[in-house]
Amino acid sequence: MDTAGLYTFLRELSVNNDRAWFTANKDRWESLRKGWMDDVDLLLARMSEWDPSLRHLSAKDCVFRIYRDVRFSANKSPYKTWVCAGINVHGRSSHEGGYYIQAGPDTGESYVFSGLFGGVWEPDSAMLRKLRKAIVDNIEEFRGIIDAEEFNRVFPGWVGESLKTVPKGWPKDHPDADLLRLKEYGRACRCDEAFFTGDWTAEASRRLKLLKPLVDFLNYSIEE
């Protein structure tokens, strides 16, 4: 994809985030979007080598639209200033564990940063209870996943919200309180514009593969 062109477009969009400017630059966007879609297709092909459950997916199943849902947002800007894709067996539309890729300049408009992500985001209360119990019941397996050296080097620390104390029903001095306090179970690594230049999908696939044991554990726990 034309990374420099895409980032330039998104920076310009961040200061001209209105329908008139976007309509005037629609052909430019469609050309850049095609490059992004082509790269996501290539990434999916590479990820399918280590996760065959993704083989049926294409970019159209995973890439999110640039149009923002502003119905419940104080920010009424109609367009995202980043491109993104959600990848799991169901594509982008699932609350199960999976992978997420976001690229774009840091304009302060997105609540997440440009990079690679994996895990479960915004689980409902029932799913969160299920995940917490599965983690505690299988703590050695889970610690083995999240304490792996390369996993931690590439994806350091948890991303998302956490409680100040352990949730109701668990002892305050529980040995795994750090994990019980989490409201989401996701890891991420930041990726700047340079990362998305050239054949970035090979390195992205290599990094995302490190997240597969975590994603698999979370999905096994949800499905039980």
Q: For the chain, what's the residue count?
A: 224
pLDDT for the residue numbered 111: 61
Cβ-contact 213, 185 below 8 angstroms? no
Torsion of CA 146, 149, 150, 152, to 10 degrees: 50
Predicted confidence (pLDDT) per residue in 46-73, tens digit: 999 999 999 999 999 999 999 988 777 7
- Distance CA(192)–CA(174), nearest Å, equals 38
* Per-residue confidence in pLDDT tens, the chain, 224 aa: 999 999 999 999 999 999 999 999 999 999 999 999 999 999 999 999 999 999 999 999 999 999 988 777 777 889 999 999 999 998 997 778 999 999 999 876 656 689 999 999 999 999 999 999 999 999 999 999 999 999 999 999 899 889 999 999 999 999 999 999 999 999 999 999 999 999 999 999 999 999 999 999 999 999 87
The beta-strand segments (E) located in the chain are: 83-87, 98-103, 115-120, 185-190
The beta-strand segments (E) located in 18-173 are: 83-87, 98-103, 115-120
> 0.75 exceeded by the pTM?
yes
Q: Where are the domains of the chain?
A: 3-223
CA 140 to chain centre: 26
- Distance CA(224)–CA(210), nearest Å, equals 23
Bridge partners of residue 224, in order along the sequence = none
Q: Is 160 strand, coil or helix?
A: coil
